[in-house]
Amino acid sequence: MRDKEIVNLRKQIQKHEKIDKKVNDYRWILKISVISFMISVFFSASSESLIPNVPIIVGILILILFIAIGIIFDMVGMSVASANEKVFHSMNSRKVKGADIAVLFKKNASKVSTFCNDVVGDVSGIVSGTAGVIISSSISNKFDLPLIFTTLLITGIISSLTIGGKAIFKSYAINKSDLILYEFSKIVSKFYHLKKHK
């Protein structure tokens, strides 16, 4: 009888754990959707208000910055998913700076990867496209070129840089995942610990 009670109790606990996990998943999805919306609006508003009012070369540099942000965060997301958690537990036990953040990232690897790859990475891609259209229009007007030609050219360049950059750094992220996660965690730890002390 006692064994049956234990089995039933375990089943009830597992059922509650599943419900809690589903609730947490829904909260996370809602939270990340709101964050995506806010980042997208901020980046889009920044590019649309800034790029038309600066020289074309500055606009191109801003576009390259957006592409670089997408590539870097894609690399970080891949590193978090690939890194060895044991390494950072060992470093954390020796009080190595940033190791505690790295452990935290590894424990939440799926969420961190989603934020880096899907939120920042995809939003950067969308904003790069928007910025590309604005730059295409500026180049077309300045040099009296067909808009369709400049748009196709700029779009092609953006796609090549984004896809090529992500492919190169994805391979690097897998091979150097521990190092990348550690360096990224060190940067984040400065802001995290600063916020903690306030």
CA distances from 174 to 73, 92, 145 (A): 14, 22, 43
Other residues' Cβ atoms within 10 Å of the Cβ of residue 69: 18
Q: What percent of the chain has pLDDT over 70?
A: 85
Q: What is the pLDDT, as a whole number, of residue 193?
A: 59
d(CA 45, CA 39): 10
Instruction: Give pLDDT tens digits for 53-62.
Output: 889 999 999 9
Q: What is the mean pLDDT of each run of 10 residues along the chain (198 residues)?
A: 53 52 69 85 82 88 92 93 90 89 91 88 87 91 92 93 91 91 90 58
CA dist 77 and 72 (Å) reads 9
Q: What values do phi and psi take at 96, rounded to 5?
A: -75, 130
Interhelix angle 56-82/122-143, nearest 10 degrees: 160
Q: C-alpha 184: how far from its chain's center?
A: 12
Q: What pLDDT is attached to residue 106?
A: 92
Q: Encoding tokens for residue 19? A: 């419900």
Q: CA of 198: how far to CAs of 47, 151, 193, 195, in Å?
A: 33, 48, 9, 5
The CA-based angle 169-153-67, given to 5 degrees, is: 30
